[in-house]
Amino acid sequence: MPQAALEKGRLERTAPLLKISQIESMQEEKRRLSDTLNAPPHLRRAIHDPALMAKTLRNIEKTLNEDSPTEYVGADQDAAVKREKELREQFVADMPTQAEMRRNPPGALDKHMQWESRHEGNIGEWKNIRRRMLLSGMLPSAMSELSASNIEMFRPVGGSGELNMDNAQIPQTRTFYGLGGRSSPMTERELELLKLLAPEIYEKVTLLTADQRDEVKTAIAEHEPAIAATSVDIDAMSHKEARERCAVVGLETGGTREDLKARLKTYYGK
């Protein structure tokens, strides 16, 4: 791979290098074209446009020559290790979290697009470094090419900058496994409702079979309106209690304690 002019401060270019599967496919096509063009005269005469075929072959050779990753050697290995770590730390620092990408709370799309715009070049360079590191034996031998350049391996979990999940598009779930291995997921809302309606069952939810949990979920759905009929001392609620109750009944959870209490009073008709 010839070393083209790089942007200042970069170890690698940002345009993607070829993947192994691409290289193998292009090498096979190169062999096919070369064999055809060098076939005996009576076979070559059957080629509709030999000039176009020759041009295609030259383009493939050019691409393979310019875009194939090569091994790092000597001091370049140390430089690659240092630069890979530097780039990774930069784009992970403000990377949207796993929950933000999975549950899509308000603002998640904008946050992702802004992050991607800031780090597009760094991510491209990092992926190329990782591809060359894998080729050079600098990464675990069992690691696949896909994993080597997969940024998802480093996506953070939680953190102080994570967006509020109260109004996320996808509800958070917890998956329990009963006898026979059948899973039985319950959303956080279902668990909060269960805690209010039947705290003694909530404490034992992990001990229930999958069928029993399914029955509990059905009962929760049927009796959810009972929460509205439950005597609630709204004025005595702390900010945390009012926020939790708003979340349970599906109300907006932002604002002051008085804001939350006003919403609850409207909801309960008080």
pTM of the model: 0.64
Angstrom distance (rounded) from CA 209 to CA 206: 8
Report for 70-79, 172-181, 253-262: range of highest mean pLDDT: 70-79
Q: In this structure, what token pair is assigned to residue 131?
A: 């591809």
pLDDT for position 231: 47
Q: In this structure, what token pair is assigned to residue 20?
A: 């192994």
DSSP code, position 230: S
185 pLDDT band, cuts 50/70/90, is confident
Contact (CB, 8 A) for 43 and 96 = no
The three-class DSSP label of residue 183 is strand
pLDDT for position 243: 83
Higher pLDDT, 84 or 173: 84
Residue 174: which of 202, 200, 196, 215 has the closest Cα?
A: 202
Tell me the average pLDDT of the chain: 85
